[in-house]
Amino acid sequence: MPSLKTPSELDRRVALKLLASVMAATMARCSRPDEEIIPYANMPEGLVAGEPMRFATTLMLAGYGRGFLGISVDGRPIKIEGNPKHPFSLGATDIFAEAEVLSLYDPDRSTAIHHGDAIATWDEFAADWGRAAQTKSGEGFALVSGRIVSPTTLARIAALKSRVPELRWYRTEPVNDDAARAGSRLAFGRVVTTLPRWANADVILSLDADSLGHGPDELRIARAYASRRGNGAKRQRIHVAEPVWTLTGAAADFRIALRPEIIREIARAVANAYGANLGTPQLPDYAKDFAQRAGNELMAARGKALVLAGESQPAQVHALCHWINAQLGAPVDYLPSQDTVENDHAFELAALAEDLHARRIKALIVADANPVYDAPDALRIADGIASLPFSAHIGLYRDETARACHWHLPLSHALEIWGDARALDGTASIVQPLIQKLYPTRTRDEYLAWLANEAVTNAYDLTCMSWQNGIAGKFDAEWRKALNDGVVANSAAMPLSVAVARVPDLPRTPATRTMTIALSPDPSVWDGRYANNAWLQECSKPFTKQVWGNAVQIAPGDAQRFNINDEDTVDIEVDGKTVTAPAILTPGQADGVIGMTWGQGRLNAGRIGTGIGTRVCAISSHPFARALDGATIRKSAHTVPFRSTQAHTRLQGRTEDLFQIATLAELAHPEHPPKQLPPSLLSVPAKGEYAWAMVVDTDACIGCNACVVACQSENNVPVVGPEEISRGRDMHWLRVDSYIRPHGYTERRGFQPVPCMHCEFAPCEPVCPVEASVHDREGLNVQVYNRCIGTRFCEANCPYKVRRFNWFDYSGDQAYADEGEALKAQHNPDVSARGRGVMEKCNYCLQRISRARKTAEKEDRKIAEGEMVTACQAACPTRAIHFGDLNRADSDVSKLRHAPQHYTLLQELNTRPRTTYLRRIFNSDENG
């Protein structure tokens, strides 16, 4: 990592404003127009033209900060990678972090102050605010925001409160931890943050807690999870009871699908085993087996056993889990909540609605939140805001709330600002800009500081102010180190010592016969804030493989009961409100449960996100509720297309050899020796200087899609848009195939990332008439775009179907939504942008290999093991993707190739892939 110098830091960015990339984009060569080279007038210090530089920064999810590295070329951020030093990244990324770099250049971002629909000036806004803020006490002043744990922003809010003392701050985050908070209050009498030490647990029981699902803690847990996989004794065992599929459920060794209210009976059964004496659990037989096994194993692993509850479970279950964990001596840390607001999120939103309608609010500032979209229609937030004399919205987009407010103030993107954030455990990190602001925008802190009449209103100074005291004494050196590392040293909170006073009561709920809706944030666009990000819209959801929309997941039994077929459009009605969406049949989901996601159906997201999918959050009268009872489902009169990148998630035919599964017991006593390579008439190729290979561990893979978006970002992979998806076209170089297979009373699921196999006996190469698909001496199956004439014979003959064809000029003139040139600034200059009529595919991040090789060759050495990291590999939170040199016997990939769970996809075709797999392992004593 380059070392950074604080003050000249700014000079660098000022200079970038004049940025002139030496790499002027060349036009088509045929006419050979003259081309200009524009050097810098004054070369910024530290910048190396055309070379990628890495800067540590922080991105937020649900308010919590996670540290990442931004890669920047010629002053343009082009890629986000994980920051190994940040405990909530550990070098990995998730799809949201990866996609931020696209949002930065989003041409739909708000760039101007708006009054109503008209562009207004800052002075006009200042005048209006001045009038509104005349009352000294600030009576009727309200601030709405999401979760805020940034010290600098908290200081701004404090400052604002000192200017308008009566300011009421409504903090309401749509994807929140209300149930956990309530459970924590019940158990400990205070709100604490529960952080499991996942890696220390031998047995885990998850009661619909999606720890591996997207969220601020995902990357930390995923890494710990990965450290306990493999075929050895260190392997942990995971039991999951959940109503609909989650990533944690798919990763489980034992999983059971149950309605939410029955899951609590499992908790009751387990607690009873420790003498909780909560009455007989009411469980079906198969669930009794599950509960008994989970309970016994937890007991046996006392001290290394852990029980977790999810947001769909009521506070009592959370409290009970705390009690069980206390009995187990579970590896779990209790930390003071960084979220200092005492009230729960749903309560705050309801309070906001009530105060709006009761006219207790006169002036409203919405700081980077979208309550009009998030809140159920029943709360009529938009009407409430519309009736106010003064309202202003600060946001990246002119979204639904912006349009309800009088004023809209454009917000700077996270990659252009100074600021700070804390992670779940309090670890602080600095938000550092990678580029000067693209538009005349301000940061949230800058707006708030201005509103509070603070003396300093510059984000850099504001941030420094927060830390001058925090890093007392040797500020300069410490500050530089914090910027460099992306973490403020020793800023994490100390664990609390809290005790559960008594066995919490667990009331019984009458078993309902109605349908229950299980709600969760959208796996791709979260609570909707990423809806205008085309990468995320086109990132297929782990289980349904749906893109550009949201669907209703129903169990096959229910589908039969209600006479619904796959992809039928259905109406879901609850509390008199109806939403319409395509249905998708999901084996392994609990009967009587409808799975739905928030985040789609945006009304004012932008060219990408507006009108995609259905706004599910409209229907409930309980904001943010994760489970809604009393739903009905029926076939709809409308038709909503279901768009997916994998039409057959419920695979017909035998897939045992494609997605191979083994139990730990089978691996210990393999029935058959490992398959030998089939003989071939072709001679085994002589290996070059390196022999690159990839091993994908499907056992570690949790299906989070980080690799997919990372690949898209690294390799300039275009999006194609919903219409093209409907035509069966997509461009992802790396796809994640979803497999499902019946097993006992449930199903087993798994994910198989499929990049190019780089077959040694590649079927795609001999069929290419022009040598556009060829091998290089290091075993890469490369595609020479400029030589390709587009016969598509290679893809026709690819058994893995990993090649992607530019049917239209997806990255140029025929790009989806015609968003213009701005997005091209994201393009990685080391990778060609592919034109129309050209085949493309994964090339093992050839540009990175090339860079690594040149670096090594300049130093007269070979590329070291681990020096060459592909984009997907770098992103993977579970380190499921291994890459390296087969010529080294001691390399990671060479060793994995000899693992007992190693296999080759479609080995019988004898294509000799360089990309191979490790089997999905179930930690089970049984066979199969």
Q: 660 to 699, contacts with other proteins by CB under 8 A?
A: 682-683, 685, 688-689
Site residues for other proteins, window 823-882 (CB under 8 A)?
A: 830-832, 836-839, 843, 846-847, 850, 854, 857-858, 860
- Nearest to other proteins of 18, 496 (CB atom): 18
CB of 918 to other proteins, least distance (A): 18
- Cβ proximity to other proteins, 592 vs 829, nearer residue: 829
Instruction: Give the footprint of other proteins on residues 502-521 (CB under 8 A).
Output: none
DSSP-based three-state secondary structure for 711: helix
Q: Which of residues 394-433 bind other proteins (CB under 8 A)?
A: none
Interacting stretch for other proteins, rule CB under 8 A, among 384-392, 500-508, 611-619, 799-807?
A: 799-807
CB nearer to other proteins: give 297 or 795.
795
CA separation for the pair 535, 537 (Å, rounded): 6
x/- map, 887-916, other proteins, by CB under 8 A:
------------------xx--x-x-----
Burial class from Cβ neighbours inside 10 Å (0-12, 13-18, 19+) for residue 797 reads: middle
Q: CA angle, corner 409, sides to 406 and 412, nearest 5?
A: 160
Size of the site for other proteins (CB under 8 A): 108
| Residue with smaller CB distance to other proteins, 308 or 782 | 782
CA distance 628 to 639: 24
812 binds other proteins (CB under 8 A): no
Asked whether 266 and 281 are in contact (CB, 8 A), the reply is yes
* 544 binds other proteins per the rule CB under 8 A: no
Query: Could you say which of 318, 444, 643, 735 contacts other proteins (CB under 8 A)?
Result: 735
Q: Is 429 helix (H, G, I), strand (E, B) or coil?
A: strand
Shortest Cβ distance from residue 830 to other proteins (Å)? 7
Q: How far is the CB of 844 from other proteins (least distance, A)?
A: 10
Region 622-651 residues binding other proteins, contact defined as CB under 8 A: 646-648, 651
Query: Interface with other proteins includes 796 (CB under 8 A)?
Result: yes
Q: Which is nearer to other proteins, 481 or 650 (CB)?
A: 650
Instruction: Determine, following the binding rule CB under 8 A, whether residue 770 of this chain makes contact with other proteins.
Output: yes
- Of the candidates 846, 843, 890, the one whose C-alpha atom is nearest the C-alpha of residue 864 is 890
Structure tokens at 88: 């909530």
- Among 289, 288, 330, residue whose Cα is nearest residue 309: 330
Cα dihedral 44, 48, 53, 56 in deg (nearest 10): -30
Q: Which residue of 58, 313, 806, 894 would you call a contact of other proteins, by CB under 8 A?
A: 806
Kindly compute the dihedral angle of the four CA atoms of residues 841, 845, 846, 852, in this order, to the nearest 10 degrees: 180
Q: Which stretch in 446-454, 595-603, 807-815, 876-884 sits in contact with other proteins by CB under 8 A?
A: 807-815
> Which residue in 878, 928, 926 sits closest to 698, CA to CA?
878
Find the binder of other proteins among 450, 808, 903, 917 (CB under 8 A): 808
- Residues 166, 243: Cα–Cα separation, whole Å: 44
Residue number, 84 or 688, with CB nearest to other proteins: 688
Half-sphere exposure in the Cβ direction for 77 (13 Å, CA): 32
CA-nearest of 368, 462, 450, 481 to 420 is: 462
| CB closer to other proteins out of 621 and 726 | 726
- Considering the rule CB under 8 A, would residue 10 count as an interface residue with other proteins? no
Least Cβ distance, residue 855 to other proteins (angstroms): 9
Tokens, residue 475: 């500020």
Q: How far is the CB of 653 from other proteins (least distance, A)?
A: 5
Pairing of strands 114-115, 407-410: antiparallel
Torsion of CA 867, 871, 872, 878, to 10 degrees: 50
Q: Give Cβ neighbours of residue 362 (< 8 Å, ≥ 6 apart).
A: 132, 139, 140, 141, 388, 389, 390
Query: Which lies closer to other proteins via its Cβ, residue 24 or residue 511?
Result: 24
The minimum distance between CB 878 and other proteins, in angstroms, equals: 21
Write out the binding residues for other proteins, residues 744-763 only, by CB under 8 A: 754, 759-763
Q: Is 727 in the site for other proteins (CB under 8 A)?
A: yes
15-34 binders of other proteins (CB under 8 A):
18, 20, 22-26, 29, 32, 34
Near other proteins by CB under 8 A: residue from 107, 470, 641, 790: 790
Question: Which of the 8 DSSP states describes residue 49?
Answer: T
At CA 875, angle to CA 20 and CA 921, rounded to 5?
Answer: 165
120 versus 651: smaller Cβ distance to other proteins = 651
- Residue 295 sits at the vertex; the CA angle it makes with 289 and 300, to the nearest 5 degrees, is 125
Residue 818 in the binding site for other proteins (CB under 8 A):
no
Return the closest-CA partner of residue 888 out of 868, 874, 918: 868
Least distance to other proteins from the beta carbon of 712, Å?
Answer: 15
Specify whether the CB–CB gap between 352 and 331 falls below 8 A.
no
